[in-house]
Structure 1
Amino acid sequence: MLTSLIPLQATAPDFSQKEFRSSLAMFATGVTIITARSASGELVGLTANSFNSVSLSPPLVLWSLSNTAGSMDALSKGSHYAVNILAADQKELAERFASKREDRWSGVEFSEGANGAPLLKGAAASFECFNRSRYEEGDHVIFVGEVERCSHRVGASPLLFHGGRFYTEHAL
């Protein structure tokens, strides 16, 4: 009987970080803004396209955040957050919450979710999540949220991101 040896760890990559980023950019994603409130009640929000569904039962979603993000403390210690899937007409919000600007919440319309996380007005969909678990992997933390409430806007077109640019959906 032949047995193959399974490596105990991955081999070193044979590509640069630039090549890796360029290859990842070929995967089109939706655009979300993760929102929460810090323990002191301060609004927290950031643009993320790492959102993904995990499970229908229980209802679980995931997203990831850089270890160096300024909002890491508030999001990792808080009990709840919201994932707001942006609509096609919310490109400006995506850019605003991806920037380091101090006044990113100035003039932004939202309502309070059941557990305090801001729900952005006009979003294509929103998921109110219990901060169920976190996994440190590489230079990011993967957040798994248990969805307690969700809603969507019938007929809304999502904002998409591909190759460093924003797009809207077009049916084939």
Structure 2
Amino acid sequence: MMTGNSLRNTVAGLFVRHGSPVSPIYAAKAGLGVFATMILLGLLSESVELTVLIAPFGASAVLLFGHPASPLAQPVNIAGSYLLGVVLTCGHMAWFPGSSLAAALSLAILMILMLMLRITHPPAGAIPLIAVSGEAQSIEMALAVILGASVLTALALLRRTVPPRSNPDPGQPELVQPASAVFDDGVSPND
């Protein structure tokens, strides 16, 4: 049974902020990047008459501009995970149209491949769920995701050139660690 102090400490631990403090300039740059990305995707949606402004791209933009040093926000992760998600989803939807089985299978295989290829980008996991919701036909969804992911990848590369390039977390490197790096838990990614 929990005592009053241990319960209080447990509850208080739920509200601890884990991110490093950032400067107002860094936060403004991140906010402007997200704003510009969503405007660009919205304009692209209107010009090509496809729904390119989808929820996973909002989550990608937050990672890309708010946490650019994160391994989850690297250009190869963005492009690779969305491409894999589209290919798997279109394939499974052809075999099991509109089926939750197709979404579950696509997402499970996508997760396995993202981990194995070291290109994990969590927002891409929403692609199979968008497809099964019936919001778009497979080819339309594929084109929209490829266009949007291309814009996000280009912006991820461009973001690295816009000052200030300082990282909000001085303990984190600006670039992704090589595969031979040992993580905080002492386990190598090759283990």
More strand by share: 1
Q: TM-score, normalised by structure 1?
A: 0.25
Higher helix share: 2
TM-score normalized with structure 2 length? 0.23
**Max Rg structure:** 2
